[in-house]
Each structure stands twice: as structure tokens, then as C-alpha cells.
Chains A and B, each alone.
Chain A
Amino acid sequence: MMRLKSIWALLCCFALSLQGQVVSLTGVVTEQGSGNPVEFATVTLQPGEQWCMTDHQGMFTLRTQAGGTALLRVTSVGYEPVEVTVGMADSGDTLRLVMHPTNLQLQQVIVTAQRKSENATTSYLVDRQALDNQQIINVSDILTLLPGGKTVNSSLINDQRIALRAEGSEKGNAAFGTAVEVDGLRLQNNAELGETTSASTRTISSTNVASIEVVPGIPSVEYGDLSNGIVKVHTKRGRTPWEISLATNPYTKQVGVSKGFDLVTGILNASLEHTRSYSNLASPHTAYQRNNLSLNYNTTPTVASRPLMINVKAEGNVGGYNNEADPDQFTDTYTRVRDRAFRASLQADWNLDRRGLADLSLQADISIADKRRESRVNANSSSSQAQIHATEAGYYLATDYDQDATSPIIMGPTGYWYIKSVRDNKPVGSLIKAKARWNQRTDRVANRIMAGAEWSATGNNGRGLYYDDLRYAPTWREYRYDQLPWMHNVALYAEDRLNLTTSEHGGELQVMAGLRADITHINRSDYGTVSSWSPRVNLKYTLWRQRAQWWVEGLSAYCGWGKSVKLPSFEVLYPQPSYADRLAFVPPSTADNKVYYAYSVTPFKSVANHSLKWQYAQQLELGVEAKTRVATITLGAFLAKTHRPYLSTNVYTPFTYNFTSQSALEHDFPIASADRIYQIDRETGVVSVIDRTGQVPVQVLDHVSRNTFNTNNTYVNGSSISRSGIDWVIDFNQIESLRTSFRLDGSYYHYHGVEHTLIASQPTGAQWMSDGVTPYQYVGYYQGTALGSGVAVPTVPNGSKSDVVNGNLTIVTHIPAIRLVVSVRLESTLYDARQSLSQGLNGATRGYVLDDPADYFGQPYTGKERDCYVALWPEYYTTWDHPDVKIPFSERFIWARDNDPALFNELAQMVIKTNYNYNLNPDRISAYFSGNINITKEIGDHVNISFLANNFWNSMARVKSRQTGLRTTIYNGGYIPPFYYGISIRLKL
């Protein structure tokens, strides 16, 4: 509570210091050619980001504080942005601004992601033209357009997720730490069970996107619950013309319609889209569909003589995956996966401009998803199987369904049948956010303070997995998502943005500093309420930007440091309980193949780790931007460390159960098979047989006890991971005689992650002792794992490093006279080096080099050896009898080799070896290339056609792996996209 008071006290001090003379800037925005007013254009004053909207007459008024000059920026969907420098000395004449409709008659078109130079952190903007040119179907594919990005063939079949500044198999849940917003509404994935990754973007209508801002750098403190940047999608709004989009490629068909309607009180922008993707050309019946309707209403009433911009948005998607119509499916079988979403938001921004208080904003969001998965499969069996539904510990005997339909174990049918299952999954998220901004401006200083608070709640209203008929339900336990508590998060944040003009040539110092506090409350959770701090600072110094006579016309540098905290997902907080089902009694099959199996059931709930801390990331970045006479150059470098990544590990506890085999019923057992009624004691597992005829007394069967382990799961914080990299973009000025421009962009990415956390494990190859009847009695404790997700199991490498350099050359020829843009993009991976690492703590060796894979002993592995098998021993092990006694493995193993062959054979099972002798060799893939061509042509003012061909020369080149010495083709090898083509047509009426 003291922390909150401190924040508010700080804010009040800032607010009181902000007083000054107020001037009004008035202007009118019209369309070039027609002279019609442009309504609902956004007018922003830089620095300070003070804003307003144009009215029906295209008029706007901005009240701001006098002094100096500022950059006025006007944006509207379908128009090129307009920027003018205005003096702020006093109220002057009405500004007259003309906006050009976006088309290919313009002198400049942009088909790649552009660096947002006004930001003090790394951020890129992808506009509608670039999206059209690239024919983006899924928003997650926009990473293609970032520096060094790699083309993917856009489709909805693969639910590709976004991970900024990271690669797929790395540690640290990078994808989970990447946030995605649509018009300010966060796409939540915290309430998803069964996955820990970023939100799916398949339900976002790609034809309705106006622009996408990608912030891989350090975002404002306004954005929390992330650790790997944010992607902000902005959809169309305002009075846009009828736009009809048609797109087709071998695997996807798309049609979209949008229009902005003037409703007098405001403008309603409506968009409707249908997209259908399939994975198999020969069987287009199995498809994923997106049917998206988006309504976006804007109005700007005047409240207390100040404009209040209200934006109400509702978006719904109906669709998903369905293979029911596929003739290749077996009769009456299918899989249907809904991907329905409803998202609504209300945003109100009151442009106050009073006493330094620039505006007040209020936002309320709700998002509801329905991801129900229903499948009907055929099944058959010649023997009855136990269908276990018990959720409480104990011994249970299989029962005929007709005798007891609610039995903890149902004896499954024989013959042929169908199983219909439903996984009801309905994540829900809601958010309320309020913020205020204070502006102050003098001749040289513009200061903006933002303070806000937000409350968010996430939950899941789904029923989880269930079956329509318990007679056929296989082993399964009900786990209702809707009975899980919701996660509530309250965040408070404050941020100051200071712009200090340092010279008349545009020299400026920009400082952005903020602090965010997250307080997370998890109902009925062992984790209770926890809080975290996220400070972030960005600095940008523009040395000059208006030196037209200099070779370097503009030059600026920026740096930033920030900490961001990623809240855990439900998968972390409420992992689904698991059950150990061990056969406890096996009678023989009867003449009709029935078996009354009995099982010992042990339920597990994930062990709460009270020392678990929230994962967070610290990011440092530096950058330089220069505008020269020949090119605009941007260069950015970052260093990101993920601290305390969530790591799922196993916990073993000794356990004993009783087992009764078929042999107990032999040797002239007195009760005939047909007359036997089996019973099992729920507590002891002792089996008795009752004679149905009553002639023979109850027979108690002999059993044996088995000592084994229960395997439970808990989350711990893993070792830190570091990522670093450099992004560069060189946009050469257009060669006017050729109407052609060149762009060189690329990225260098470095990753290093080594895990040292001690991991308990019983290797998969170790289940029995040397006598063949005693379950394995040892648990090994190993240092680290190489796995990036899932339950951690020990591996010989405990990490990896990689260095990748990608470089792209984009050649854009734009001929406004014939409204044609041809862009050719050559993509290359110039350097791709990776190595699995086996490193001990503090430089110690880890593992042993083997002369032969069949060996268990060798010299310590130092990391320099090549072409060798490496074995990993556990640090120590414990036994079933003494689970708390740590026995050093190495000395016991060496002793057993010389003295106890049986023990040696048992301990040897805990030795883990590399798969091949080259696994720990450094790998480097030789350079490889591909090329894409995109052509966009406008026909008149109403028709726009785009054609693309990815990997248009269908490269079959080969690459060499230094690790294995082998050459492999890059064709269909995951290096470059397969040859692909598509065409899209857009009609603007």
C-alpha cells in the first residue's frame, strides 16, 4: 500500500508543476481532388501526443500550451499521413491540410515494415499497402516484413503464434511473453489450459486491418503482462468507401467487404470477411474457416465544451476446423473445432485540455472465446478394456456398465462402436482501464505525464473434456475449467515523457520513464496474491533532423532499459490433475473376452511451489537513426535477459501398492469361472472371490506388494536466458530515372541458454531392478535439461547457443503513371550457427566423453571435444527406502562396476548418453537464399490487383551441415517456403 501512495504523490507533484498559457490550433482537413472534408481523421501534436478528431466538416481544434514549434500529424484510413510543423506562439489562422487518398499514383509506396522514428524504442509499422502487397492472411505472418524476416506461406491451417525476438525451440516461453492487442483490446491466452504460448491470431480479420505496430523493444509501462514485446493491430475505422477484397492461393480463398457508414451521430465502420484454408489440395473438404464481422462505431460528442471521443467496437468470429465433409473420413467420424470469438470494447477519450490535464481515458473490454472441440471416432476391440474414471485414491474393480453406470471403472465393450468426445473450452477475459495525461509545453520543453490504473480478470467457462456416453468413454477424468478460480490483476502505472528541444535544426532530447506495479490475486490458489514492479526508461537524442544541406540530414540515437513481468498462465497455476493407474488385479479373460481388471488409482495435484517467483525479462537496447542524402539508415541493438523462466519438473515420492495376478486363481481354484464374483478392498487392494452359487466360501487371493514411486509435478524457476541482436534497415532513396528503390534489411540474433536447475528423473529405460520383479528403486538428480517446454527431463546437453544472420534485399519499382508496383525480395540466411551445450555451474565440466557408445566411463567433457559420444551421470541419487539420503552417484557407480554387477546394471540405467557422436559438435548451415516477387497494379481508382510468387525460382539448392558433414536440399526442408503463388483483387467503390 505504501508503494501506491508513493506513486500517487509523485503524480500529484508533476501535475501541480504543469501550468502555462494556452493557445488554440484550428484547422480543416480536406481530400485532394474532391475537396471533400475528411471526417474522423486523427490529429496529433508531437511531441506530447496531444490529439483530437476532425468533425463532419473536417474541422479540428487543439488547445495546447503556447511556445515553440510542434509537429502536427494527421492520419486517416485510406489516406496518406500528413505532417506539418506549426508554430505554437499564439492562436493563428486556420490551418488548411489536404490529404491524398492512398493509391499507386503517389510518388512513394511502402511495402515493408517501417521504423517508427518518433518512438524512443524499437518499433515498426506495417501499413495496409504492405499487407496487401504481401497478401497476409494471418496476422502472425507479419514477422515476415520485419528486418531480416523470413517469408511464410500464409494459411490458417497452422495456428502460428507470434514470438518476437526469439526462435521456436528456445527456453524461456518467448511466445507466451509476446502480447497481441487489437484496437487496444488484449488477446488473452492466460486462461488457456494445455498450452503456454501467445494468443492465436487466426480470428483476426486480415482484410479489416488498417495497420499493425510491432514493438519488439521496450514498450510503455501502459503495457503489462508481457516479456517479449507487443504487437498492436489497428483495424479500420472512420468513413471508408466500400471495399471488396478477393484473394486466392492454392490453399486459401478469401473474400472481405468493408464500409464506413455515416450515421449522423457518428460513423460505423463495418467489415465482413470469409476465409477458408485447407491443408491438402486433394481434399479441400477438411478446412479451417474464419467468418468475421467487425463493427466499429466512433462518435465525438461535446461534453462540458470539450470533445469526448467514444469508440465502441464489437467483433465476432464464427468458424474453425471441420473435416466432417471429407469423404476420406471413415463413416460417421469427424473432428470439429470451433474457433469462435466475441470481443467488445468501449473506449472513451475526453480531450479536456484544462490546467495541463490533457485528457482522460476510460476503456472497458471483454473477450469471450469458444474453442469447443468435438470429435467422433470409431473404435473396436476383441477384448474388454478398463475405462477408468475414478478421481479418488483407492483400489477399484471394473464393472459392467449395465450393472453400474457410475462405477469408477467401467468394463469397456468388445466389438465395434463410436466414441464422441467434446472438449469445451471457453476462455474469458475482461479489462477496465483508466488513465489521465497531463501536458505542459514551453518554448523548448514538452512534458507529458500519464498515470493509469487497470484491472483485468481472466477465467474459463468451459466444461473441459467430456464424453456423451459413459459406456464408451475411455479412461478419462472430468476436469471442469469453469470451476477454476479466475485470475485478477490490478496494475498501476505512471510515466513521464519529456521532450527537450536542443537546437533549431530539430535537435531534441526525449526521455520516457515509467513504473508499473502489478498486483495479482489468484482465488483459491496456493500462490495467493503477489506483486511485481516493472520500471522502464527510454532515452532518445536527436542531434539534428533538418540539415538539408548536410550529407547527413538527420541523426538520432536512442537507448532504453526496461523490466517486464509475464503473469503465469492457468497451465502454470492450475495444471490439470494427473492420475497414476496401476494394474492391481488381472483375472484371466472369460470365454466372451471379458476381463474384470482392478486398478490402484492415485490422483496427483501439482505441488505448489511457494518459492516460485514470477518470470520477468530485462531488456536493454541501443539504436541509431540517420537520414542521409542517399539512404535512411536505422540500426538497433538489444540485449534481453529472461529471468526465472517457469520450468515444470517432476517430484517423486515412494509409494506401495498390491498386485494380484492370474496365478492366484490357478491350482484347482474351487470356484468355477462362470460363478466368480470379484471384489477388491478399496483401501488394501486385497481381492476376494465370491461363489455366485454360494457353495464355496469366500476365497481371499494372495498378492504381492510393489514398491514404486508416485510422480508429481511442480513449477520452479529455471536459469536465466539471454538473447541479443542487431537489426538494421537501409532504405536507399529512389533512383528517379528507374523509379526504383532498394532496401537492405537484416538481423543478427544471438541466443544463449543453459539450465542448471537440479532435475529429478527416473530415466525411461529404467523401470525394474535386476531381479526383474522389483520396480526401479532409484531416482537420479541431474543438472539441467536442454528442453524448452514441457516437463523437464534430463538430457546430455543442458542448453544451446545460436547465432543467425539474415539479410534481405528488396527492390521496389514503382511507376505512378501506370499505377504499378513490382517488388522483388531476395531473402538470405548468411550465417546460421548453433551448438548444443553441456556446461556445469561456474565453469565446471559436465558429462564424460566415451570412446565407444557402449561405454559408461570416460574423460570429463570440456566442450572442446568433437565427434564423440558423451554420457551424463546424475549428481546423486536417492532410493525408495531412503528418499532423503543423497548418494553421490559417481563413487557408487565406480564401486559397483568393480564389486557388484547387479548394482552396476541397475545404476547404469541412469546414465544418459548423446544420441549420435555429433550431437555436441558445433553446427553451421551454409548460406541459402530464396526470392519472392510481388506485383500490385491499380486499374483506375477502383480496382487494385496483387500477385505474389514466393520462392519463385523454386530453389532446390543444397546446404551443408558442419555438424554432420551432410548436404541436404533446402527444398521442403523448412529452410525456405515451398513455391507458392497467390492473387488478390480489391475493389474500392
Chain B
Amino acid sequence: MKRSFDIFMLLMLSLLGVALTSCDDSISDPDQYLTQELLVQLTGDLPAKQGILVRAVDDKGMVFSQPTDASGVATFHVPVGIYDITVSHVSTPDNGWRTVYNGSTSNVVVRQDSPATVSLPLATATSSAIIIRELYVGGCQRDDGSGWFYRDKYVIIANNSPERVVLPALCLAIATPYNSYGDNKNYDDQGHLNYENEGFIPAASSIWYFQGENVVFEPWQQRVIALNGAIDHTLTYANSVNLANPDYYCTYDIEHYTSTSAYPSPSELIPTSHYLKAVRYGDQMESAWPLSNTSPAFFIFTPPEGMTPLEFGNDASNVWYDEGRALPTFACRKVPVENILDAVEVFSTSWDEASKRLTASVDVGAVFMTARHGHSVERRIDEQESKRLGHTVYIDTNNSTLDFYEREHCSLKQQ
């Protein structure tokens, strides 16, 4: 009997041993996944390295997140595979400005045989409290089925803080090429934008700026800017929006952009002080500011210290040519990245068919949008911060992928 018991116990211990051995990371889990350790070391000028969230996304779209430790290392245990790793970290606000740390790397291979180690440098940029809350450029369907109407574009710029922000000037700009799809000839043979390390973003064609010496945003204040026609478009196009509102602003400088179809006279409700002025230095043949209807790279900035928007736009020595083509049509002004308050990169096609125009220090991602059906891109709400401050706070990590989403109906469209 005792011998039988001893044999039984021996079998049980053996089974226990097998069971314990199977818990090792290097052997199959119950779902047959092989896992391995992935170590991500953040580098760069970080004030505090602990607690920064690192995302790893595998080629099937599975997302893993880990905070960094005190030495700036995030340790993952992930299935073997190929990962894209991104970091978008925003510091706590300081007098209306924040520091944004962005970094990304692709095609990190995690193999079964040994842990993978990645060093991820972070680009640092300052981020203002002034943000692009929503951008509507895609237009809508006409009532008669004859196509789409696109001259009802608008942007909403917001103060994303409880503090009053005073800017010496505020300008609207777009990067080139105007659309995200198609051949972007500003990439070099290594796949990098040729101005990536130059510290500027090219502002194409012309810039628009608010009148007056200072642009003041009260706490949480939002400004709607009609980008083509500041009138009630719904009288003709039921799917469009009503931009005739005394609180709205509009890009309207009829002596510089003389097309009254692209820029109909603004509604009598809108004071002329709400008109933004244009400085044209590029493509003078365009009847309208060439803001893409499908996929712009849109940004807002303040001119370098000591310059007015007019002086900045007229500065012939600050020229950069899109595609390296030295024609007036392709003339851009170089906007220093440190002067860029916010940006959004919109794609209308998949990443494979699109090219980013904003560099990582300004915007590391992109938001997808379908044009012609009343959609817009809008910034996501930071639920945690909103609860804390008792007001809607928008996410601003200089990463359009994370910060924005596509709205089925633009916010000004009353359903």
C-alpha cells in the first residue's frame, strides 16, 4: 500500500514539475504564442524619465502599453513579431505652454531566441495652449446630385487651457504638397523629408493672419474661422453649414484673393475686424488659398519675434521651394518649428499611399478623413483632464493619430 502511495506521489510530483516548467516565458502559452521581452530605452532631454507611456503595436494591430521606469526603460513581454513603437508625452502646462516629446520607430523585430532592445530618441517641441480643435475641409454633397460643394471650409481654434493667452500674432498656413497622396518630391532617397532636420515647416502659397497687434484668447475660448465663404451655405446646400455668425471669423482679403466665388463677401453679421488678411508670396495664379479639400497639412503659428505676419510673408530671403522648383508658384516661407502652435496632418488614403509633410517635432501622426460627405477631423477629449479641470480639455500630444478622429458630421452642422 505504502509502495503504491509512493508511486502515486512520484507521479503527482512529476506532473507538478511539468506544470511548473510550462510557465516559463520561452515556451508555448496556452494559446500557443511564443513571447519574449522587449526593452525600449527612451533617450533625449527628458526632465523626468519615469512614468512615460510607451506603445507597441504589432502587425496585427494588437496594442501593448508600458510605462517607463526611473531609467527611462519600458519593459514589455510580448508575442514574437514585428512592432511599431511610439511615444507621445506631454509635460504638465507651464504658463500656457507645454513640452511635447514624440518619438517613433517601425519594424522592430522581437524574436524567440533573445530579448529585443530598442533605443528610441524623442523629439522635443513646445506646445501652446492654442490648438486646432476641428478642421472641416471635405465639403458635402449638393442637393441636385451634381457633385460636391467644398467652399464651406472652416477651422476652429481653441484655447485649451484655463489661462488667458496673448499672442503677438496668429497665422494660418498649409504645408506642401497640398494633398497627402501622390508623389511627394520633398523626400530624399532614404525616405526622409529633406527639411526634416532643418528646423522649419514650409508654409505654401500664402499665409492668413488675424488683424491687430495682439491676438487674445480668453480661457477656453474658441474661434470659428470660415476659410472660404462666411455666409449661410445651407440656403443652397442642405448638407452644408451656416457660417453667417457674428462671432465667427473668416479668411477674407478680397484685394489679394479677388475671386468672389471662392471668397464671397462675408455676411453682414460679421464685423470686418473678424476678417483675416492674406500675404501672398507663392502661387499668385490661384484664385483661392490652395487648402486641400481632402488631405491638408494645416498648421497655425506666430511669426518669429520682432516680425509681423506681413514682414514674415514678404521676406524674400526666407524662401524655400517646394519640390526644388524655383518658380513663384512653388515659393514657400520657412516657419521655424518653435513658432508652430499646433498642426494637424490629414490623410485621405492609407499610410502606404500617403506622405507625411509635418516633421516629427510638429506632428508625428495623421488622421484619416473621407471627403465630400460632410466629415471633419476633430480633436479628442482628454477625459481625465476634463474631469480634473471641470471643462472640456482636448488631447494635444502633437500626434494627429492619437489626438484627432474623423467626425461623421462636422460639429457646426445641425442635425
A interface, CB within 8 angstroms of B: 330, 378, 380-386, 414-416, 583, 586-593, 595, 597, 659, 661-663, 665-666, 673, 706, 763-768, 770-773, 850, 853-854, 856, 869, 902, 904-905, 908-909, 913-917
B138 to chain A minimum Cβ distance, whole angstroms, is 17
Q: A765-B284, A767-B280, A772-B279 are in contact. Are A383 and B264 (CB under 8 A)?
A: yes
Partner of A915, one of B142, B237, B325, B331: B325
Are B233 and A854 in contact (CB-based, < 8 A)? no
Known interface pairs A382-B231, A583-B260, A593-B232. Does A905 touch B314 (Cβ–Cβ under 8 Å)? Answer: yes
**Cβ B316 vs Cβ A909 within 8 A:** yes
**Cβ-defined contact, B236 with A853, below 8 A:** no
Closest to A769 in B: B314
Bound Cα distance A661, B255 (Å): 10
Contact status A588-B316, CB under 8 Å: no
B residues within 8 A CB of A673?
A: 268
Partner of B265, one of A597, A853, A913: A597
Contacts of A383 in B (CB 8 A): 229, 231, 260-261, 264-265
CB contacts (< 8 Å) of A908 on chain B: these are 316
Does B188 count as interface, using CB distance less than 8 angstroms?
no
Which of B40-48, B215-223, B270-278 is the interface stretch? B270-278
User: CB within 8 A of A869: which of B231, B235, B268, B326?
Assistant: B326
Closest to A673 in B: B268
Who on chain A is nearest to B261 by CB? A385
Q: What are 27 contact pairs spanning A and B, CB under 8 A?
A: A330-B146, A378-B146, A380-B146, A382-B151, A382-B229, A382-B231, A382-B240, A383-B229, A384-B264, A385-B260, A414-B236, A416-B146, A586-B254, A589-B265, A590-B268, A591-B267, A593-B232, A764-B328, A767-B284, A771-B310, A850-B326, A853-B324, A854-B317, A854-B321, A905-B315, A909-B316, A915-B325
A386-B260, A595-B260, A854-B320 known; A588-B267 Cβ under 8 A? yes
Closest to B264 in A: A383
Contact assessment for B325 and A589 in the assembled complex, using a CB-CB cutoff below 8 Å: no
Q: Closest chain A residue to B318 by CB distance?
A: A854
Chain A residues closer than 8 Å to B236, beta-carbon distance: 380-382, 414-416, 593
Contact mask B311-352 → A, CB, 8 Å, 1/0?
Answer: 000111101110011111101000000000000000000000
Q: In this assembly, does B149 line the interface, its C-beta being within 8 Å of a C-beta of chain A?
A: yes
Q: Bound complex: CA of A414 vs CA of B240, how far in Å?
A: 15
Docked pose: A621 CA to B151 CA in angstroms = 61
- B331 to chain A: closest residue by CB: A765
Contact call A916/B324, Cβ cutoff below 8 A: yes
Interface string of B9-33 (1 = CB under 8 A from A): 0000000000000000000000000
Q: A380-B146, A382-B264 are in contact. List 19 more A-B contacts (CB 8 A).
A: A381-B236, A382-B152, A382-B233, A382-B240, A416-B146, A588-B267, A588-B268, A589-B231, A589-B244, A589-B264, A593-B231, A765-B328, A768-B256, A770-B310, A772-B277, A772-B279, A850-B326, A856-B316, A916-B325
Min distance, Cβ B254 to any Cβ of chain A, angstroms: 6
Contacts of B152 in A (CB 8 A): 382
Residues of A contacting B233 in the complex (Cβ-Cβ under 8 angstroms): 382
Q: Are B235 and A382 in contact (CB under 8 A)?
A: yes
Known: A588-B266, A662-B272. A416 touches B281 (CB 8 A): no
Interface residues in B253-302 (C-beta closer than 8 Å to A): 254-256, 258, 260-261, 264-268, 270-272, 277, 279-282, 284-285
A385→B262 CA distance, assembly (Å): 10
Interface centre among A330, A663, A853, A909 (most CB of B within 10 A): A853
- CB of B6 closer than 8 Å to a CB of A: no
Secondary structure of the A contact surface, majority rule: loop
Q: Which residue of A lies closest to B144 (CB)?
A: A416
Which residues in B have their C-beta under 8 angstroms from that of A909? 316, 328
State whether A589 and B235 are in contact (beta carbons under 8 Å apart), knowing that A380-B146, A915-B327 are contacts in the complex. no
Which of A414, A586, A666 has the largest count of B CB atoms less than 10 A from its CB? A586
| Binary contact track B141-170/A, C-beta < 8 Å → 1, others 0 | 011101001011000000000000000000
Q: Are B272 and A663 in contact (CB under 8 A)?
A: yes
**Minimal beta-carbon separation of A475 from chain B (angstroms):** 10
CA distance A706 to B281 in the complex (A): 20
> What's the minimum C-beta distance from B274 to chain A, rounded to whole angstroms?
11
Enumerate chain A residues within 8 angstroms of B271, measured Cβ to Cβ.
Answer: 666
**Residues of A contacting B321 with CB < 8 Å?**
853-854
Assess the B285–A764 pair: CB atoms within 8 A: yes
Question: Chain B nearest CB: distance from A505 CB in Å?
Answer: 65
Contact: B316 with A382, CB < 8 Å?
Answer: no
The distance in angstroms between the C-alpha atoms of A383 and B324, with both chains bound, is 39
Specify the chain B residue showing the minimal Cβ separation from A666: B272
Inter-chain CA distance A763–B331, complex, in Å, is 13
Write the chain A residue with the least CB distance to B229.
Answer: A383
Which residues of A have CB within 8 Å of B254?
583, 586, 661
Given contacts A382-B229, A386-B260, A663-B272, whether A593 and B316 have CB atoms under 8 Å apart is: no
* Alpha-carbon distance A9/B315, docked complex (angstroms): 73
Tell me if B's interface is mostly helix, strand, loop or mixed: loop
How far is it, in angstroms, between the C-alpha of A30 and the C-alpha of B309 when the chains are bound? 91
Q: Which 8 A-B pairs have the closest CB atoms?
A: A765-B328, A383-B264, A913-B326, A588-B268, A908-B316, A382-B236, A853-B326, A382-B233
Q: Is the CB of B282 within 8 A of A765?
A: yes
**Separation of A908 and B315 alpha carbons in the complex (Å):** 10
Complex CA gap A591/B236 in Å reads 13
Chain A residues whose C-beta falls within 8 Å of the C-beta of B285 in the assembled complex:
764
Q: Which residue of B lies closest to A661 (CB)?
A: B272
Other-chain contact of B314, A662, A772, A850 (Cβ < 8 Å): A772
**Which residues of chain A are near B284, meaning CB under 8 Å?**
764-767
Neighbouring B residues of A591 by C-beta, 8 Å: 232, 244, 267-268
A706 to B149, CA, bound (A): 34
Q: Which of B149, B256, B272, B310 is packed against the most chain A CB atoms within 10 Å?
A: B272
Residue of A386, A589, A869, A914 most packed against chain B (CB within 10 A)? A589
Kindly list chain B residues whose C-beta atoms are within 8 Å of the C-beta of A662.
265-266, 272
Task: Report A907 CB to chain B, min CB distance, Å.
Answer: 9
Chain B residues closer than 8 Å to A768, beta-carbon distance? 256, 280
CA A913 – CA B321 in complex, angstroms? 11
Q: Assess whether A416 is in contact with B264, with CB atoms less than 8 Å apart.
A: no
> Closest residue to B268 on the A side, CB-wise?
A588
Known: A589-B265, A765-B331, A916-B324. A380 touches B144 (CB 8 A): yes
In the complex, how many angstroms separate the beta carbon of A358 from the nearest chain B beta carbon? 62
CA distance A977 to B320 in the complex (A): 40
Q: Are A592 and B235 in contact (CB under 8 A)?
A: yes
Question: How long is the Cα–Cα vector from A768 to B316 in the complex, in angstroms?
Answer: 13
What CA separation (Å) do A917 and B314 show in the bound complex?
25
| Chain B residue at smallest Cβ distance from A770 | B314
Contacts of A853 in B (CB 8 A): 321, 324, 326
Nearest A-chain residue to B151, judged by Cβ:
A382
Provide the residues of chain A in CB contact with B143, threshold 8 Å.
416
Asked whether, in the complex, the Cβ of B281 is within 8 Å of the Cβ of A765, the reply is yes
A residues within 8 A CB of B151? 382
Known: A661-B272, A765-B331. A593 touches B235 (CB 8 A): yes
A667 to chain B, nearest CB (A): 10
Chain B residues with CB under 8 Å of A414's CB are 235-236
Q: Give the distance in Å from the alpha carbon of A773 to the alpha carbon of B285 in the complex.
A: 18
Q: Which of B231, B277, B319, B327 contacts A854 (CB 8 A)?
A: B319
Nearest opposing residue in chain B for A674, CB measure: B268
Contacts of B279 in A (CB 8 A): 772
Whether the pair B265, A586 counts as a contact (CB closer than 8 A) is yes
Nearest-Cβ distance from residue B87 to partner chain A, whole angstroms: 35
Nearest CB of chain B from residue A742's CB, rounded to whole Å: 45
Of all chain B residues, which has the CB nearest A594? B265
Q: Please give the distance in Å from B139's CB to the nearest CB on chain A.
A: 12
- CB pair B144–A378 under 8 Å, yes or no, is yes
Residues of A within 8 A of B258 (CB): 583
Closest CB of chain A to B267's CB: distance in Å?
Answer: 5
Q: Are A772 and B310 in contact (CB under 8 A)?
A: yes
Are the CB atoms of A380 and B264 closer together than 8 Å?
no
A-contact 0/1 string along B239-257, CB 8 Å cutoff: 0100010000000001110
Given contacts A382-B229, A588-B266, A905-B314, contact A597 B282 (CB under 8 A): no
